[in-house]
Structures are given as C-alpha cells and as structure tokens.
Amino acid sequence: MNPKNKIVSFFYSIFVNFHCLNFIKKIENVVKAMKYSEKIFFFFVSFIFVASSLFMLFKINNSFLVEVPAFGGSFTEGLVGSPRFINPVLAISDTDKDMNSLIYSGLLKISKDGDFQLDLAESYEIKEDGTVYEFIIKDEAFFHDGVALTADDIIFTIEKVLDPVIKSPKKTNWEGVLVEKIDNKKVRFTLGKAYPPFMNILTLGILPKHIWEKVSSEEFPFSKFNIDSIGSGPYKIEKITKNSSGIPTAINFSSWKKYTLGRPKIKSITFKFFQNEKELIKAYEDKSIENMSGLSPEVASKIYKSEDVSNKVSLPRVFGVFLNQNTAPVFLNAEIRKALDLATPKKRIVDEVLFGFGNVLNGPIPNNIETDIEKSVGNTEAAKDYLLAKGWEENEDGILEKTIKKEKMVFSFSIATSDAPELKQTAEILKEAWEKLGASVSIKVFETGDLSQNIIKLRKYDALLFGEVVGEESDLFPFWHSSGRNDPGLNISLYANITVDKTLEDLQKETNILEKEIKKETIVSEIQEDTPTIFLFSPHLIYVRAPKIKNMTLKRTSFLNERFLYINEWFIETDKVWKFFE
C-alpha cells in the first residue's frame, strides 16, 4: 500500500469509514466529475465552510467560559526603611506594621463592610451586657511551622503586651482586661465595663508561645524572631537577605497553604527595603520593584501622570487646627472661631500641600467632605467684615482687638505642630491667610515625640495643627467626649457639650444602624455649630501598584499597612472554566 493510501485509510478509520455513507460517495463522484477549476472552487468553499464552523464552535465554547482566579504569580514591592520588629507586640514603624500584616493574624479582622469577620476564631459570644467575650479558636488554625494555635498562644501574647519590661505600644489597649483559658481552643475576655471598640483590639496578631516562651522580657526586643518571624497569617517568610551590617535588605514571602481564610492566590511576594525615597524611586524606574508605598504627595503626583497610583481611597484621618480655649482665651469668642473657619483656604492646602491627594473637610469624620467650592476656597474679606461687624477693630499694627468685659482682647495666638514637611507647609499657609484676616500668628514646630509628650500631653498650646485617626462612629467618643479633655484623653480641643456627651454615650450602646446614623448626625451638627476645631482635610492613601494585581480592595484602609487586609483575595494568574464548573 502506497503512503497516500495509508493516510486515506487512517482517516477513514477515524471517521467510521465514510465510504459506507451513500452521501459521501455521491459527493466523491460529483467531485471526480468536476473540471480542475471547479475542484479548486469547491475545495476553497469547503475550506471556508470548515474554518467558519470551527470559528463558530470556538466562539460558542468561549461564551460558556468564565475567567477565575488561579494560584500563581508574584510581585515585588519597595518600602522606605528596614523592619526591626516583625512582632505584633512591638511593631512601631510603617515597615514593621506592613510585615506584621502578612505574617500574623488575630481572632478577628475588619471586614469589607466595616464590621468584623472571623479570622483565627471559629465563633464568639458576647455576654454580661458587653463585658464578657468568649471565643472558640478554629481547629484548622496553624502557625507557619505546622504547630496548632491554641488558647495558650493568645494568653501568652497578651501577657507579653502587658509586660511592663517589654513596653509594648499596645499595652494601654489591654490594661484592665482579664484573659482566661476555658479549654485548649476556648478563651474568655472580661472587661470592667462595656467597651464596644474592644472588638477592634481583638485583631491583634498572635505570637507562637512555643517559639517565644524561652525568651526573657529583657531579651524580647533583641530576639532573632523579631525578624525571622513565625505567625499564622496569609504569608510566611521563605528567605531574608541582609547587608554586611545584618540589616534586612529584602524578604521573600510565600503563600501559607493553611491560612484560616484560604490560601492566598498570589504564590510569592518580595519586599525590598531602601534607605530613602530617592533610592525607592530609582528602583522603581529601574523596574526592580513594581509596587511602592510611603511616597510623599509631591513624588506621587509626578508618578500619577503615567502610572497606577491608588489615590481615590480616603484614609480615616482628620487633620485640623484644634483650638485650646484654656490657654488662648481669644478662642472663647464664637465669632473668632467662625471667622477663622471662613477665612481658611482649605482647597489651597489640599492642592499645594497634598497635590490633590486628599479631601477638604468641614466636620469631625472623614466623610464630612466640603462640597461648597466657595467655602473650601476661603474668604478672608468676608471673614474680616464679619468680625468688624461684631465690634472688633484694627489697632495701629493692623491686629484686630476688642474690649470684652472691660478687658482688651487681642486677636493673637500661636500654632503648634510637628516637623512633618506637610504640616509645616500647611501652618505657613494658615498663618498667611489668618494674618490677612487681622490676627497675629506665630508657628511653633516640634519633633514628633516632643510634641506628643511635652505639648499635647500637657495641653500646652494655643492652637494645635494635628491629625486624628477616626474609624467607626463609636471612635468619636475619645476625641469629643468631655471626659477626654485631660491626658490620657484624646479630646485635644478640650471640647465640652452636654448634648454631644449624652449622644456619644448613647451611640456606644446603640445597635440599630439607622439610629446610629441619626445620633452621628446630631454629634456632627453640634460640633460644626460650635467650631472647636478648624477642620482641614482627610488625606488619600498613596500606593503605587502593579496593574497585573487584580481584586485589590482598599476601601476600608485606616492605616497604610491595612492595604493587605484582604491580600488572600488578590490574584495575578487566571484560568478559564465553563460557567457550571465555576
């Protein structure tokens, strides 16, 4: 049999010997009878028909396919500063917190709707009018070395937080909380009184007792496990690269297959650490990193022109000028506070200082966004006319003053702020605008630690240019309830309002969502009317990310490290499957 006949026989055997079909025989006979030109036309038409049929089958098949996340892929991110404490008890710097977010997990985590979802916990129950919390730990909760996570690990972690020798920055959160082991997988927390924000504290990452128990309190900050860390979070450390001084320059992470919320889809992540922003940008331009965080607004504005910069997510932070009426009696005058607010060029601050990465605010929570363009721009002339109409007069130096109860009140005060470049620039803009209003304004700049310990703590300022982290509505309590006017309270305007106090107290106990919103509106309205603070802006999260990363959720980000809250749902690789296999 010649090769041609062998091929024909092979295909005939595959297609069930089509010569048995009369229809095929007829076609063969017709083709044989065709002229050469007719055969060419016939085969051309046949080819078009077969190709079209295959194309249609391909399109129909694709219409039933859907793209789904698949395991695989990697990315490299650059950070300014090397980690020192990859330890939830000691983490201080932004880099520390970033690494902790990947390596450790807590009983709970913040959900996408702003509530809380189970992480290490299988379930929980709140008893005794909100003073007792009982948690059951998941059986499938494991540390990265394969050891099961138990109640002993949770109790051990909190003991370390409370250890006075260790000096954890989270110590105040846990003071007065009794922690008890009910059994190996059940733990109880007892509070002195109901405190709804306690749920947020339960997101604390858990240390493995079997790793740390032999480390003394004195050795705790110096242990190698502060870098070579083992947790139960979505990613585990695979490799640490250090320089000649022993400082980490890069850390490679791999997806933890036993993470309680499901193995993360992205297979591996590499973090590279740089000494400053200039080195970080160079690495990005050289394409040795794909993601960046911790950028200044100015640098981010240049990259934003051509790259994927996350800038639409507002951080829950409120920056403003908090007025201390105790040290600066001029602020006792409601017209002065209102005039300052009217004259403040808030939009200019957002445009020039934040380069547009922020929202203008008119209230104490981040969603109190000023929509009135005229108000956001500020109007010095209208504000000055308002004060003149209220009886204020210019003295020979052009400063406004007024005689109140036989005493001359001069419109003069100082602004205290930190040495952060953005805040110093903001202070200069405010000084310029308010001096046009008729005020005498001086600026006092302090190192951050000095500002916190010697100025804010002692309430030694006239006006404080500062920012507060404000989460859910219950978080308004420490900032605006009169009980927090003195240290360690956070009411840095020393604000007191009976209606606000009562509503804040009710809000903490309220469970009905609609009622909570009504109470929140009452609080905001009262504060806006009293103007104890000149609210300025809420900054945006600035994060340069690789477009290849999909399903990245940043909506509920309070701090930069919380961009990794749902990293287990991020993905790079995809597969296509039929819809009914999805």
Q: Provide the pLDDT for residue 46.
A: 76
Percent of the chain predicted with pLDDT > 70: 89
Q: What is the pLDDT of residue 579?
A: 61
Output the pLDDT for position 5.
52
Residue 187 within any structural domain of the chain:
yes
Q: What is the 3-state secondary structure (H, E, C) of 16-58?
A: CCHHHCHHHHHHHHHHHCCCHHHHHHHHHHHHHHHHHHHHHHH
Residues 366 and 453 in one domain: yes
Mean pLDDT of 362-366: 91
Give tens-digit pLDDT for 137-182. Answer: 999 999 999 999 999 999 999 999 999 999 998 998 898 999 999 9
The pLDDT confidence band at residue 473, using thresholds 50, 70 and 90, is very low
User: Are both 301 and 321 inside the same structural domain?
Assistant: no
**Under a CB-based contact definition with an 8 Å cutoff, are residues 268 and 252 in contact?**
yes
Q: What is the pLDDT of residue 61?
A: 66
> Are residue 327 and residue 301 in the same domain, yes or no?
no
What is the residue range of 283's domain?
A: 70-86+233-312+541-582
For residues 483 and 48, which has the higher predicted lDDT (pLDDT)? Answer: 483
Mean pLDDT for 507-520 is 84
The separation between CA 239 and the C-alpha centre of its own chain, rounded to angstroms, equals 26
* 8, part of any domain: no
Does position 29 have pLDDT exceeding 60, yes or no? Answer: yes
Q: Are residues 485 and 336 in the same domain?
A: yes
Domain membership flag for residue 43 = no
Does residue 17 have a pLDDT over 60? no
Does residue 81 form part of some domain? yes
Q: Output the pLDDT for position 544.
A: 86
Residues 554/312, Cβ–Cβ less than 8 Å = no
Query: What is the band of 2 on the pLDDT scale with cuts at 50, 70, 90?
Result: low
Q: How far apart are CA 498 and CA 310, in angstroms?
A: 41
What pLDDT shows up at residue 362?
Answer: 94
User: Which of 173, 198, 226 lies at the terminal end of a domain, its last residue?
Assistant: 226
Domain shared by 361 and 332, yes or no: yes
Q: What is the mean pLDDT of residues 172-199?
A: 90
Is 515 found in the same domain as 371? yes
Mean pLDDT of 119-127: 95
We report the CATH number of the domain holding residue 571 as: 3.40.190.10
HEC per residue, 127-196: EHHHCEEEEEECCCCECCCCCECCHHHHHHHHHHHHCCCCCCCCHHHHCCCEEEEEECCEEEEECCCCCC
405 and 521 in a single domain? The answer is yes
pLDDT attached to residue 14 = 45
Over residues 542-551, mean pLDDT: 88
> What's the rounded mean pLDDT across residues 377-403?
95
Would the pLDDT of 247 be above 80? yes
Q: Which of 153, 151, 121, 157 lies closest to 138, judged by CA? A: 121
**For residue 123, what is the domain's CATH number?**
3.90.76.10
What pLDDT digit, counting tens, does each position of 330-355 carry? Answer: 999 999 999 999 999 999 999 999 99
Is residue 322 domain-shared with residue 305, that is, in the same domain?
A: no
End residue of a domain, out of 175, 198, 226: 226
- Does 128 map to a domain? yes
Residue 107 has pLDDT above 90, yes or no: yes
Summarised one tens digit per residue, pLDDT across range 300-332 is 888 765 556 655 677 888 999 999 999 999 999
Specify whether 366 is located in the same domain as 379: yes
Burial 516-532 (b: 16+ CB within 10 A, else e): beebbebbbebbbebbb
Q: Do residues 390 and 490 both lie within one domain? A: yes
Identify whether 35 is part of a domain. no
How many structural domains comprise the chain?
3
Q: What CATH number is associated with residue 463?
A: 3.10.105.10
- Please tell me whether residues 500 and 565 are part of one structural domain: no
Does residue 527 share a domain with residue 441?
yes
What pLDDT digit, counting tens, does each position of 263-295 carry?
999 999 999 999 999 999 999 999 999 999 878
Which of 226, 258, 276 represents a domain boundary (last residue)? 226
Q: Which residues contact 171 (CB under 8 A, 6 or more apart)?
A: 161, 162, 164
Three-state SS at 463: strand
Answer whether residue 2 is part of any domain. no
**Residue 343 domain-assigned (yes or no):** yes
Average pLDDT, the chain: 88
